[in-house]
Structure 1
């Protein structure tokens, strides 16, 4: 039986007070709509149709998935009108699952249960009882009994004071026999307080046509909370982050404070990983056994091998190239690893050291106040404080090669392209523009001069 998923994403989101379409605001580093699309993809649907409207071109360019289709609702005349635009794209038979692009945390298991409740024969609604149901459509049941037959849905703005006292609400998600859905969409009217075509009106039509209306329920209210304002987005972000933290802790990760943890991508952890407070993980991050992450670190697109320690306030950003940190390496505090940084085992990168597009072999050290860009650094190299590789000539990047066991003194400039031979020593304060031979001391600095009788300039009176 065919399964089509329709995702409504046409709203403007006026209360967000933003030029960005509401469904493109991010939760856990991904657009709200992208979360819903991924849920639909997990269901192996035959087709996924996204209804766009406000900022349609921007939304369609930003959200991707295999086989994704877009239809536009212009102008926006209500939820029923939105689904009418998608109807021609739907299979003639089977089931249509309707989801909301601003309700990002609906779980695939819940969506699948809703489809199963429909069974291709019934109208299945996803409902839940909320302590504060303000703004949601209320479920009307026969005799007002909690287990009474579903008779219809009344929108909050059209509800009587008595109906607004009902706590069971419609979440905006339903599963419908597709052939019936197309029939009912053609019978919608807009004679209501908003002058809109409500999708919820098909419930009463189903009852009138003798089609059973059933309800399914999510595991928690977090799954069905929508985003209409910055405060609601912030609340949902914390709920989402708590979910991620709980999942990691169940797997054995030690979080110093799960309330001060942010995951905006994927995080894979080995055994005995420890993460201190206020750390942010973005993109794809892998932490090996026994890795320790200090407080206030930001780590994006990186692989950190077993036993490595990332000290507080370190910023690792692999972008597309990624960053690799070897076993037992020590990084930080206040270090910065940029794309293409590859640290071997037991490498030390200290405070205020920046590494970009460079490899450091086992045991190399750059302990403070240094820059390594486009460099190949051998084993056991000691790279002095204040030293830099001058890798950019104003037009092109060039590489610096530093052999094993080299000692680079403080405040040196290595002007690439240049090679420092194995075992060489570069005297402090040197500017090296030519290759330095292996095993020898190379010094390139001006002779110290003292000028007798020189006086410091003074301000004119």
Structure 2
């Protein structure tokens, strides 16, 4: 049986007070609309249609992908009018699932339940019971069948006592949906076409109207303001934290944890407060992450320690930290940083597009860019690889057991052979053979009897 998935994403979102279309505001690192599309990706849909309007080009560029089709709603004249625009794009027969682009946390399980209940023959509404249903449309029933949705402002005192409310999400038989939305009228104070009017049409035709209830308020909460977005972010982050802790991860404070991507953890992982994980991150067994770290697109090996205030950003190339390595505090790993086992990267050390073999150390105030560093290298404080000549990047190769003194400049392309030593304060521009000592600095001069200048009175 065919399935259409329609996502309404045409609204302006005036209360967001932003030039960015509402559905592109981010929750946990992804736009609201990306969440909706991602959470329904597992459904075997014949057509995926996104209705755009305000900021249409921006929205379409942001979420374009295989199998996604866009339909414009201009002007925006209500939810029923939005669905009217999709009629030519709907695959015939089967069911159509209708979602909102600003309700990002709807789950795959719930959407599948709606589609299964619809089965191309019933109109299915997603509902929820609220302790305080003020402002929501109430579900009027005859036993298990729904006979109407009444808006709060139109409800009687008795109807306002009903706690079951409509969430704005439904699944409908496609052919009936086409017929119903074609009959909608905008004869109301707002001059808009309301999709909820099809409930009365279905009842009049004898088409069954049923409800699927969700008990999870979070998955049906929409976003209309920055405050609501922030509240939903906290709900979502706490839910992610709970899943991690259930799997054995020890979070110092789940209220101060942010996951904006996918985090895979081994056993006995510990994460301190105010850490942010983005993209795809893997933490091996026994990894400890100190407070205030940001880790993006990286793999951290077993028993590694990421000290406080460390920033790891692998971007597309990724970054990796080997088993038992120590990184930070205040260290920065950039794309292409690959640290071997037991490597030490200390405070204010930056590593970019470089490989450090087992046991190499750069403990203080150093830069390693476009470098290959051998085992057990000791890289001194204040030393850098000068990898950029103003036009091109060049590589530095440092062999095993090399000692680089403090405040050195290694001007690439250059090779420092195994076991060589670079004296502190040297600027090295030529290769150094294995075992050699290289010193390149001005001779020290000491002047006796010299006096500092003094200010004139």
CA contact (8 A) 1:158 1:192 kept: no
Q: 1-side partners of 2:77 and 2:344: how far apart?
A: 61
**Aligned match of 2:238 in 236, 242, 263?**
242
Q: 2-side partners of 1:50 and 1:159: how far apart?
A: 32
Which residue number in structure 2 is paired with residue 2 of structure 1? 2
Aligned length: 457
Which residue number in structure 2 is paired with residue 177 of structure 1? 173
Matches within 5 A, 1:289-300: 289-300=285-296
Matches within 5 A, 1:210-289: 210-289=206-285
CA contact (8 A) 2:144 2:210 kept: no
- Say whether 1:202 aligns with 2:198: yes
**Aligned match of 1:427 in 405, 409, 423?**
423
Gaps of at least 5 residues in structure 2 are: none
CA contact (8 A) 1:267 1:281 kept: yes
Which residue number in structure 1 is paired with residue 357 of structure 2? 361
Q: Deviations over 1:138-157 (max 9, x none)?
A: 22335xxxx46422123345
Q: 2-side partners of 1:69 and 1:382: how far apart?
A: 56
RMSD of aligned residue pairs (Cα, Å): 1.5
Which residue number in structure 2 is paired with residue 128 of structure 1? 128
1:364 shift after superposition? 0.2
Q: 1-side partners of 2:376 and 2:387: how far apart?
A: 22
Seen in structure 2, the aligned counterparts of structure 1 residues 458 and 397 have a Cα distance that, compared at 3 Å, is farther
Answer with 356-365 or 165-174: which moved more.
165-174
Seen in structure 2, the aligned counterparts of structure 1 residues 201 and 101 have a Cα distance that, compared at 3 Å, is same
1:437 shift after superposition? 2.1
Q: Counterpart of 2:229 in 1: which secondary structure?
A: helix
CA contact (8 A) 1:40 1:48 kept: no
Seen in structure 2, the aligned counterparts of structure 1 residues 69 and 460 have a Cα distance that, compared at 3 Å, is farther
Which residue number in structure 2 is paired with residue 57 of structure 1? 57
Q: 2-side partners of 1:33 and 1:64: how far apart?
A: 11
- Say whether 1:77 aligns with 2:73: no
Matches within 5 A, 1:407-446: 407-446=403-442
Q: 2-side partners of 1:41 and 1:354: how far apart?
A: 39
Which residue number in structure 1 is paired with residue 335 of structure 2? 339
Q: Counterpart of 2:211 in 1: which secondary structure?
A: strand
1:162 shift after superposition? 5.7
CA contact (8 A) 1:122 1:176 kept: yes
Q: What TM-score comes out, normalization by structure 1 length?
A: 0.96
Gaps of at least 5 residues in structure 1 are: none
Q: Counterpart of 1:128 in 2: which secondary structure?
A: strand
- Say whether 1:113 aligns with 2:80: no
Seen in structure 2, the aligned counterparts of structure 1 residues 459 and 133 have a Cα distance that, compared at 3 Å, is farther
Q: 1-side partners of 2:446 and 2:376: how far apart?
A: 38
Seen in structure 2, the aligned counterparts of structure 1 residues 158 and 191 have a Cα distance that, compared at 3 Å, is farther
Matches within 5 A, 1:3-18: 3-18=3-18
Which residue number in structure 1 is paired with residue 147 of structure 2? 151
Q: Counterpart of 1:171 in 2: which secondary structure?
A: strand
Q: 2-side partners of 1:442 and 1:458: how far apart?
A: 39
Which residue number in structure 2 is paired with residue 38 of structure 1? 38
Q: Counterpart of 2:109 in 1: which secondary structure?
A: helix
Q: 2-side partners of 1:213 and 1:326: how far apart?
A: 58
CA contact (8 A) 1:305 1:328 kept: yes
Q: 1-side partners of 2:456 and 2:163: how far apart?
A: 81
Q: Deviations over 1:179-202 (max 9, x none)?
A: 110111011011223211000000
Q: 2-side partners of 1:37 and 1:136: how far apart?
A: 25
CA contact (8 A) 1:263 1:280 kept: yes
Q: Deviations over 1:366-392 (max 9, x none)?
A: 011111111110000000111111111
CA contact (8 A) 2:127 2:212 kept: yes
Q: 2-side partners of 1:84 and 1:367: how far apart?
A: 64
CA contact (8 A) 1:37 1:65 kept: no
CA contact (8 A) 1:337 1:355 kept: yes
1:160 shift after superposition? 5.6
Q: Deviations over 1:75-94 (max 9, x none)?
A: 00000000000111112211
Q: 2-side partners of 1:306 and 1:67: how far apart?
A: 40
Seen in structure 2, the aligned counterparts of structure 1 residues 194 and 83 have a Cα distance that, compared at 3 Å, is same
Q: Counterpart of 1:184 in 2: which secondary structure?
A: helix
Q: 1-side partners of 2:206 and 2:2: how far apart?
A: 23
Which residue number in structure 2 is paired with residue 139 of structure 1? 139
Answer with 300-309 or 161-170: which moved more.
161-170
Q: Counterpart of 2:199 in 1: which secondary structure?
A: helix
Which residue number in structure 2 is paired with residue 47 of structure 1? 47
Answer with 133-142 or 344-353: which moved more.
133-142
Q: 2-side partners of 1:197 and 1:31: how far apart?
A: 27
Q: 2-side partners of 1:114 and 1:390: how far apart?
A: 60
Matches within 5 A, 1:401-412: 401-412=397-408
1:451 shift after superposition? 3.7
Q: Deviations over 1:409-434 (max 9, x none)?
A: 11111111111111111111111111
Answer with 249-258 or 8-17: which moved more.
249-258
